[in-house]
């Protein structure tokens, strides 16, 4: 057969549009995603669909009519933050989310700061200035992974400090049971080479997230406290893409860089990033005292307009943290749990309140999560608690 007149990928794209990627499936009620023109459409089927659909409408809205990352054979990569659909790891995520709908929150994501060591001096780093070079040893980090998976976590994200300086990083990534959770990583890109990126991929790393504080070299390096970090990040994206990793670019959004959102999108598109994520800056760590340095109503308006303009443009998927929090509430203590380099267990990486320590036995994270669940502040918060004056005063975070 002569295929010269066929457009590359034409038949594959046509076939993919007929696929159903099941979010949830049983004989009586199923929810699935179909794809057309690289956008999602969530649909239901089954005899109980007319009755049960209304109970999951909000969750369905999260997936419906959105730009996706890509289709990979039988799997849909909806976001770099989520396991492939379908997969056993994604099924665990759905199970946790359904438990949340019934009032029993389960952690879906664990960030684990495996080391405090870092060559950068970021002005807004969430880690306080302890300067004691704390890090989790291999057994402690593996215990945290086991404990997290045992209580429902389906996304384990290694961060720091700078995780690339951790000697046994590949061993930790490989240790994550990929049937139950994906492994991700935050990095500044400092120290990443193609060979290292390939090694991380072979160890089982699912996605890698590069921090970009600015679309411009001088501004980025100033925020990172070290010259050359911008070039490290840009080169790192290329190495990761060439190694076959999913690449996410991450921006901490504040009044100082709200004017760069279009430039950041252009940069992400130019570098070939799969996703561009925005989170609003949080007054914590080295930024603890800057409680008034947050986005204004006008800033949020600008961001919403940006999202409307770019949602249907060809380019990277956008993960809009401020919009997620506005529509679904903050994840801290509901879907997110964090472990510090000292082993302390926190509701998220930004709230410096320990509820236990993973060094205190194999059930320490389970016990910590029960304590967090019992505090009503984490149940239905609609905004970041570290930006809430009343919460900070009540918890002595002043």
* pLDDT < 50 positions in the chain: 1-15
Quick check: helix, strand or coil at residue 252?
strand
Supply the pLDDT for residue 181. 98
- Confidence (pLDDT) at 382: 78
Q: Using the 8-state DSSP alphabet, how is residue 7 labeled?
A: P
pTM for the model: 0.92
Q: What pLDDT score was predicted for residue 6? A: 29
Nearest C-alpha neighbor of 186 from the set 120, 267, 131, 92:
120
In the prediction, which pLDDT does 1 show? 32
CB 106 within 8 A of CB 96: yes
Q: Is 189 helix (H, G, I), strand (E, B) or coil?
A: coil
> β-strands 275-280, 155-159: how paired?
unpaired
Question: What is the predicted pLDDT for the residue at 367?
Answer: 97
3-state secondary structure 16-78: HCCCCEEEEECCCCEEEEEEECCEEEEEEECCCHHHHHHHHHHHHHHHCCCECCEEECCEEEC
Q: What is the pLDDT of residue 100?
A: 84
| The pLDDT value given to residue 7 | 31
pLDDT of residue 129: 62
- What are the chain's domains? 10-88 (no CATH), 105-394 (3.20.20.70)
Q: What is the pLDDT of residue 379?
A: 80
């Amino acid at each position: 057969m002569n295929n010269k007149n066929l457009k590359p990928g034409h038949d594959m794209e046509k076939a993919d549009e007929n696929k159903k990627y099941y979010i949830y499936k049983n004989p009586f009620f199923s929810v699935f995603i179909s794809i057309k023109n690289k956008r999602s459409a969530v649909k239901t089927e089954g005899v109980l669909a007319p009755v049960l659909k209304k109970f999951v409408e909000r969750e369905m809205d999260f997936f419906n009519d959105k730009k996706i990352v890509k289709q990979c054979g039988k799997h849909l990569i909806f976001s770099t933050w989520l396991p492939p659909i379908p997969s056993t790891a994604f099924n665990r995520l759905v199970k946790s989310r359904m438990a949340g709908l019934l009032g029993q929150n389960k952690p879906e994501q664990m960030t684990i700061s495996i080391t405090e060591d870092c060559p950068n001096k970021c002005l807004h780093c969430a880690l306080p200035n302890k300067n004691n070079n704390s890090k989790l040893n291999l057994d402690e980090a593996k215990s945290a992974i086991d404990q997290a998976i045992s209580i429902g976590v389906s996304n384990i994200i290694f961060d720091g400090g700078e995780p690339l300086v951790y000697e046994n990083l590949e061993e930790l990534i490989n240790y994550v049971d990929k049937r139950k959770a994906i492994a991700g990583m935050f990095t500044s890109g400092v120290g990443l080479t193609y060979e290292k990126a390939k090694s991380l991929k072979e160890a089982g790393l699912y996605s890698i997230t590069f921090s970009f504080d600015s679309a411009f070299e001088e501004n980025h390096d100033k925020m990172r406290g070290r010259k050359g970090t911008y070039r490290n990040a840009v080169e790192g994206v290329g190495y990761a893409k060439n190694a076959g990793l999913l690449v996410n670019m991450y921006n901490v959004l504040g009044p100082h860089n709200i004017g760069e959102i279009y430039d950041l999108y252009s940069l992400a598109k130019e570098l070939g990033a799969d996703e561009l994520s925005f989170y609003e800056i949080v007054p914590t760590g080295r930024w603890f005292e800057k409680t008034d340095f947050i986005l204004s109503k006008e800033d949020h308006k600008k961001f919403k307009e940006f999202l409307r303009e770019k949602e249907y443009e060809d380019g990277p998927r956008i993960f809009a943290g401020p919009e997620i929090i506005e529509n679904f509430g903050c994840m801290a203590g509901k879907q997110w749990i964090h472990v510090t380099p000292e082993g302390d267990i926190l509701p998220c990486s930004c709230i410096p309140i320990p509820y236990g320590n993973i060094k205190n036995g194999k059930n320490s994270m389970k016990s910590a999560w029960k304590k967090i669940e019992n505090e009503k502040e984490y149940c239905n918060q609609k905004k970041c608690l570290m930006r809430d004056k009343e919460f900070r005063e009540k918890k002595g975070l002043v």
